[in-house]
Structure 1
Amino acid sequence: MTEFVLVAGAWLGSSAWDEVVPELRAAGHGAHPLTLSGLADKRQVTAGQQTHVQDIVGEVERLGLREVVLVGHSYSGIPVGQAAERIGDRLARVVFVDSNVPVDGESFLSGWPEGRAAVEASIAEHGGFWAPLTAADYEGQGLTDAQIERIVAGSTPHPGATLTEPAVLTRPLGELPATYVKCLLDGAEPSAEVAELLKSERWRLVEMDTGHWPMFSRPRELARILRRSVGDT
């Protein structure tokens, strides 16, 4: 049995995976959605990026999981990628869902130069937090009005320190067994960093014809992709 640890991107907690978890469990796998510190019901907890890395490592250790697939969406690909190398032989695979990937010594904002000024301004204006998106920001991402409403209702401000702290890697990310899920409505091509990693024989690319939040727009399809990443058809 594979144990999936599911980590959503900025602003979102474990409830983002509510429609994916039953699909994985029905197929006989473990599914463990995780809320990171500073978000959702943990929003009172002070958090930096390394806090989030430890959240993930700590959950794997607390539950005594083995044959673990770490799943990181959007921002959370950065702490998930770091956690993956820290759980040792417990790791079966990493799945990056339309996500950022960690680069040693670089932060989330380092890899997002076009939007950096706007994010930094939001953090400064909102007491150290990145303000959630509005409903209008989700247009064109393959989401229904009800799905957008659910995302917006489940979003909380994102702790700014997690976006500015640098990642820490001890070995090349391309050495990890990984699947990268590219959501085509959010851009047809992976980032330059991801394209380079996909040259590794240990990395695979899967495309989804949907937007940046497939756990909302295509939960069953995403669950199938997660199962297939470990050879479950």
Structure 2
Amino acid sequence: MWSTVRSRLLPQEARGIVGPLRYVAAMTNFVLVPGAWLGSWAWSDVLPGLRAARHGVHPLTLSGLADKQGVKAGQQTHVDDIVGLVERLDLRDVVLVGHSYSGIPVGQAAGRIGDRLARAVFVDASVPVEGGSFVSGWPEGRAQVEAAIAAHDGFWPPLTAADCAGQGLSEKEVARLVAGATPHPGATLTEPAVLTTPQADLPATYVKCLLDGDRPSREVAELLAGERWELVTMDTGHWPMFSRPRELARVLLDAAGEGR
């Protein structure tokens, strides 16, 4: 099946915002959704590259995290956070970007915003499956995550420096990532997804970070075998917004062009 997947490894020059970009002149609105434990601040090094291309950029903190700690949140709360931002700001030509955990609410929100969506981008992310959850899609880690949530009053404890090992991060980047992480609301990880649109019908790009494993999950591989999903690889770890922010900005700009 992997011979059918359309994959391209970004060249070395793609680590800077240089050369021609495949996107149209009309402004795209990027909605950037961080993964587990993180807030909108996690995208701060990616923003300059997107704004330099004169697009709208809207980093989002999900309920219960970072500066929104204390807000009760389940998985559908996070879906509503994303849809609410798009509708409140009346955004069009939206590229929804989800990293890691947030691929699950992003995939659901992408179906709910209808023709406002230009493309969904999943950055080393989980994808939603009808009736499935984040933990059900991670069988090797499910018991550990559920036990951690039960032992910490319903929250998944923040990541540690050890969790960042081998992911292409400098000591400074690891320190920044760990210092900014906050406990993640456990219900968002265990509640089931509700899909209004099949994920295979979405125009989508999947960004696989090779230091975190060289192949996507089975669910993602099946989506990539279809006509509407594209695979892009980055030679870095699970947090490219820290390890390769300029390259990631280029990937997002290129994905926006692919979605037109």
TM-score band w.r.t. shorter chain: over 0.9
Matches within 5 A, 1:114-125: 114-125=140-151
Matches within 5 A, 1:25-36: 25-36=51-62
**1:230, CA displacement in angstroms?**
1.8
Q: Which residue of 1 aligns with 2:74?
A: 48
Which residue of 200, 208, 224 corresponds with 1:182? 208
Structure 1 unpaired stretches of 5+ = none
- 1:128, 1:165 → 2: CA distance? 13
Aligned partner of residue 16 in structure 1, secondary structure: helix
Structure 2 unpaired stretches of 5+ = 1-26
Q: Does 1:93 align with 2:119?
A: yes
Q: Which residue of 2 aligns with 1:229?
A: 255
- 2:224, 2:129 → 1: CA distance? 15
Aligned partner of residue 256 in structure 2, secondary structure: coil
Aligned partner of residue 208 in structure 2, secondary structure: strand
- 1:170, 1:25 → 2: CA distance? 31
**1:137, CA displacement in angstroms?**
1.4
- 2:156, 2:69 → 1: CA distance? 13
**1:117, CA displacement in angstroms?**
1.0
- 2:101, 2:210 → 1: CA distance? 17
TM-score between the two structures when normalised by the length of structure 2: 0.88
Aligned partner of residue 178 in structure 2, secondary structure: helix
- 1:214, 1:64 → 2: CA distance? 29
Matches within 5 A, 1:12-91: 12-91=38-117
Q: Which residue of 2 aligns with 1:168?
A: 194
- 2:118, 2:43 → 1: CA distance? 20
Matches within 5 A, 1:208-219: 208-219=234-245
Contact 2:74 2:188 in 1 (8 A): yes
- 2:35, 2:256 → 1: CA distance? 22
Q: Which residue of 2 aligns with 1:194?
A: 220
- 1:59, 1:40 → 2: CA distance? 17
Q: Which residue of 1 aligns with 2:181?
A: 155
Q: Does 1:139 align with 2:153?
A: no
- 1:171, 1:207 → 2: CA distance? 26
- 1:50, 1:230 → 2: CA distance? 26
**1:171, CA displacement in angstroms?**
2.8
Which residue of 107, 113, 128 corresponds with 2:133? 107
Structure 1 segments of 4+ aligned residues over 4 angstroms from their partners? none
Counterpart of 1:137, as a letter, is D
- 2:216, 2:58 → 1: CA distance? 27
- 2:81, 2:122 → 1: CA distance? 17
Number of residue pairs matched? Answer: 232
Contact 2:28 2:94 in 1 (8 A): yes
- 1:8, 1:171 → 2: CA distance? 22
Identity of aligned residues (%): 76
Contact 2:112 2:196 in 1 (8 A): no
Contact 2:80 2:109 in 1 (8 A): yes
Counterpart of 1:140, as a letter, is G
TM-score between the two structures when normalised by the length of structure 1: 0.98
**1:133, CA displacement in angstroms?**
1.1
Aligned partner of residue 109 in structure 1, secondary structure: coil
- 2:198, 2:90 → 1: CA distance? 26
